[in-house]
Structure 1
């Protein structure tokens, strides 16, 4: 039996203001092509179909189109809810769509109820575990403690109880969790409870294949336990990730082979560091001119209009950071007292950020900004500081 393991689609999510819905649609079309060309029997979607509990209507349409196309290509599809999904919304009509070969597992009451599949080697029980919120699981199952470990351990007790009544049946589990050994990135939502979010790998001992979701980096935690990661990068911390889906061959005794099938990407990511002049002039950066760029500028004095100048060479630059070389972070000045003259506060801000004083034209511009709202000190400061941040026209 061939399994295609994917997760963390996050349909509806953007990337630093860039709409990703067309790239997400292209990824689902890619999955359909893999199903057809590689004779995939079942697609496993381990949570976070959507990026938020109430997804945009366009994202729902993309999910509907994708799931329909996967089923039409001949694969059974098992989908679980993640911590970003609304279990109730994603699972609407689940018993009805079961009949179409798309199996939604989003509620605790169906934990331990497998999707039963068959191949020439016999039966396979696929147990889809939704994201298990510790508070919800504790109340529903009467658990003795409030933790991810307790919730997932109880779910696996129920899975093993079902498998005990099916001797000779191979087992597959989908889980949306932070399992020890996985590598987090900046784009996952924190699921820590009481400071602890990770659960041990040993919870899945004896399962033939475990398809994990939540962490966005593809990873092999053991020969039978893997994260597929997100199909698209959702933060610059994912710049080094290989994005794709695991194509898993399940033989009569368990996993025979696993291959990461790489997914199409809207653009490569590039993390560039140096002074603005270095980034604009260094020929070695030519390969990144069409990438999404995060630039970290090390100029000792903040350049004027750095993003505009950066985009002259890198039109898809999206993020800018400043880490001046030689500046002592511990020596940063304390916030100015509220009793100080607002113009002095603004001039200090300019000097602190750029390490050069404001010009005469800039002083005049800041004074005019403050004079626009003389009766509202806070609004005046807000406008003037915004003016200082932009610089002179």
Structure 2
């Protein structure tokens, strides 16, 4: 059962409010949606979130990466789901292979990989969880059965009044973990964290994300006044070009360091491990190239005693939310989990049913063939900016 068609779609998902951090501010989230069609007419959908400031990708470069990828040839004609999973997990794109950091094309690879898992899952009556469990066979961090997960909340940089309201919402909604964006110009981070602590309480696990905001030379000075609020992790404190400085600075900071923008492919992971740059990895399915590459990064972290956050891209649709749910539901030992913010972030979603987490951040594993969610035709058409028929 081979692949006969790949269509790339530029989708603009409207956000309920602007998402702001030290690197970027956006009111619309641009996604690459890939629709694949198998020989028998079975259709599958996948999503990638190209961000030029993360992996260097744009919508156009993702189209180009898939155009030259010879995906149909790599997938061939799987005889069953097990065969399909093995073939899909092995897909390679030239743009990634030729990039020293192994990341230029990751959003494209993620989108087509998820679309294929969705299509072949529907064709053979299997779920993405079944694929993940096959890929994790024998791993110590594979759950015995898919189980419920608990997501963390996030407070973006929105001004004192809005942040105070967000803090109360986090407390009332029962989140046990909250991430706060720091490092935005003009904001008093110690005062902000003091306010968050006073509202959230001492028992809430509070972590901070600087999104490359600080130079290595100022890092110790910036972090020192934040330690009294007991953040459990500091995410990407310096720009990627200065990340090597964390070898010397990390032991002096007093807060565990998590890499994000500096962790996009396996070369990044090996560099971080060899140089002692981090205590935790933030893996995001689109940023890291899909389910199979993400699992390889998780395995490297586990093997070397590093913690793992399964993150997300703000504004991703229910397609990536579903992929993250399937992955998290099958893993033991995730330090932090982000995602499934759908109805809290998106003015309109692409998929049904609504899989947004419930009170306390709790959510159940997904069932059904493929991704377990359905792409809705009407919102797909409304939010489409451009389409491109791609050589399969």
What TM-score, normalized by structure 1, do the two folds share?
Answer: 0.32
* Higher CA-based Rg: 1
Structure number with greater CO (CA < 8 Å, separation at least 6) is: 2
TM-score (norm 2): 0.32
More helix by share: 2
